[in-house]
Amino acid sequence: MSTENKSGVAATAPRIDPKLLEILVCPVSKTTLEYDAARQELISRAAKLAYPIRNGIPIMLPEEARQLEG
């Protein structure tokens, strides 16, 4: 059983394998992604999208992505 830390993220939230992060690209912009461990998201700065990671699995569907502000 996991507990949540102050940011609301499970203390035992799965980490993304660095090798996986090296090969994944944004399906919209085809650019590299940044891993946001606190929010459990993969960030595409070029497309201004944040793809969720659920149960350690990146959900790389544009319709599931959160639009970034700015």
pLDDT single digits (tens) 31-56: 999 999 999 999 999 999 999 999 99
Query: Mind listing the pLDDT tens digit for each residue in 20-34?
Result: 999 999 999 999 999
pTM above 0.85, yes or no: no
Contact 2/20 with Cβ under 8 angstroms?
Answer: no
* Mean pLDDT to the nearest integer, 47-66: 97
For residues 60 and 70, is the Cβ–Cβ distance under 8 A? no
* N- to C-terminal Cα separation, the chain: 37
Domains of the chain and CATH, by start: 18-67 (2.20.25.10)
Question: Which residue in 56, 39, 31, 23 sits closest to 48, CA to CA?
Answer: 31
62 SS3 class? helix
Amino acid 57: pLDDT: 94
